[in-house]
Amino acid sequence: MNLHQESSGEITLLKQKAFNLSSESIRDEIVSSAFRHTQAICQDVTKVKDQSKLLHTEKLDKILTSRLFGFPIMLAMLGIVIYLTIAGANVPSSMLASFFGWLEGYLTLGFQTINAPDWLHGVLVLGLYRGTSWVISVMLPPMAIFFPMFALLENYGYLPRVAFNMDRLFKKTGAHGKQSLTMAMGFGCNAAAIMSTRIIESPRERMLAILTNNFVPCNGRWPTLILLASIFMAAGFTGAAGTLVTAGVVVGMVVFGIIVTLAVSWILSKTALKGVPTHYTLELPPYRKPQFMNTIIRATIDKSAFVLKRAIVIAAPAGVLTWILANIMVGDTSILMHIVQFLDPFAQQLGLDGFILMAFILGLPANEIVLPILLMGYLSTGAMIEVEDLDSLKKIFIDQGWTWITALNMMLFSLLHYPCGTTLINIYKETKSKKWTFLSFAIPTGLAIAVTFAIAQLARIFGWL
């Protein structure tokens, strides 16, 4: 029997099956038939020198893309990456913080030598310099570990398998399978992920990806999640056990963010963005040996440069603004404290306080500066500060009335709240719509308020808060 006869036979078989299959099943049968037909042609006209490599890919795919093992392996991979990031970033972060602290001493000495006014030293050193150095020391080491590992998984060929696994879930929510790729990019930077949604051809499905991309933590929110998980959720654990618990909590937050992404996508696809999801046929590339040094160097340099640019362009002016608000007095109270007192009644209903909401509002330009602004407000120093010891940092929070519920709600608010300023600008550039840009701000903010409010009320009922 020749290939033409085989093809005709399969077409006849498909017609017979079509009476008993749904439209989606028919499509799957057609794609499978086309694959089998193409595979038969390739086997007739090509020769594989190393059959073991082909068999190796097929064997791995049966495990990594299976319905039983696919998702547990994905979670395990994410947990390993986060664990190594947390464990490996502590020492370089401390070294950078010490270096910047040492350099600040000389900068202060220089200002004293030229008899510079206190306000100039405050703006440039305590505001601009400290704000920038905090972002660099806290953000650079984790990202220098996270992104190379992420790039190695992509280089190996695993990320397309992640998209394959997630495709089924996104299709059920009315979204496109490619949204899993844009969501994965959001782990690094939501602003860049918004631009990556261009790979989705359907305007409706692209808008779904844009509106829900914020629900995965970007590089600016990792420090908040990791730090609070380390201090409150992993309390009582030390060493590797503490790091493991912290990684588990952070993975839980990521999984919750993905669940929220799917839920909001489903709701929007049934309401404001109704429609039928377009089909997504993904050709899985073969596994290949990663180019370790090339991949690590490129990922480190590219992402490091991005973080440094972001620190200088966005975080530095925000540090200056924070110092000004903390040092300009209206009556006998600073502008910063007036803001805190105004926000506090509402924040208490969310299980937070006015200082936390103030930090998130002033941190709109960059999520990286939320924590230093919060510490500055608590200690009333009028300048961004650094506390290197976790025990002393936890004492600061507890002295302000924090419990593990406060930490949990701040982590959830950080995960779910509005996108940073850069992401909002990119959303407007991509959509050319004030309405959709506003919704991209309002939907996550409303959800963050609703979730933290519900948890706070439950905590009060059970006496946890």
Retrieve residue 332's tokens.
């006998």
pLDDT exceeds 60 at position 13: no
pLDDT exceeds 80 at position 137: no
What integer pLDDT is reported at residue 362 of this predicted model? 86
What integer pLDDT is reported at residue 123 of this predicted model? 81
Retrieve residue 9's tokens.
């036979």
β-bridge pairing 333-334 and 329-330:
antiparallel
**Number of residues written out for the chain:** 465
In 3D space, the residue among 205, 207, 179 whose CA is nearest the CA of residue 278 turns out to be 205
Looking at residue 173, what DSSP letter applies? T
List, for residues 176-187, the tens digit of each pLDDT value.
888 888 888 888
Residue identified by tokens 């990792």 is: 222
pLDDT exceeds 70 at position 310: no
Residue 120 three-state SS: helix
Report whether 190 contacts 223 (CB < 8 A): no
Report whether 464 contacts 231 (CB < 8 A): no
Q: What are the helix and strand counts (H, E) for the chain? A: 21, 2
Report whether 192 contacts 185 (CB < 8 A): yes
What integer pLDDT is reported at residue 1 of this predicted model? 46
d(CA 81, CA 70): 17
Q: Which residues pair with 329 in a beta bridge?
A: 334
pLDDT exceeds 90 at position 436: yes
Report the pLDDT averaged over residues 154-181. 84
d(CA 285, CA 123): 53
% the chain with pLDDT above 70: 84
What integer pLDDT is reported at residue 10 of this predicted model? 53
pLDDT exceeds 60 at position 421: yes
d(CA 355, CA 374): 6
pLDDT exceeds 90 at position 385: no
What integer pLDDT is reported at residue 2 of this predicted model? 47
Q: Which of 58-67, 95-104, 133-142, 446-455 has the lowest mean pLDDT?
A: 133-142
More confident residue, 5 or 366: 366
Burial of 206-237, coded b for 16+ CB within 10 Å and e otherwise, reads: bbbbbbbbbbbbbbbbbbbbbbbbbbbbbeee
Report the pLDDT averaged over residues 420-424. 89
d(CA 209, CA 214): 9
List, for residues 31-48, the tens digit of each pLDDT value.
667 667 766 776 666 665
Report whether 360 contacts 417 (CB < 8 A): yes
Q: What is the pTM of this model?
A: 0.82
Contacting residues for 143 by C-beta, under 8 A, at least 6 apart: 188, 219, 222, 303, 304, 307
What integer pLDDT is reported at residue 3 of this predicted model? 43
In 3D space, the residue among 342, 343, 328 whose CA is nearest the CA of residue 382 turns out to be 328
More confident residue, 198 or 236: 198
What distance separates the 2 farthest-apart alpha carbons in the chain?
A: 95
What integer pLDDT is reported at residue 214 of this predicted model? 93
d(CA 433, CA 126): 39
Mean pLDDT of the chain: 82
pLDDT exceeds 50 at position 292: yes
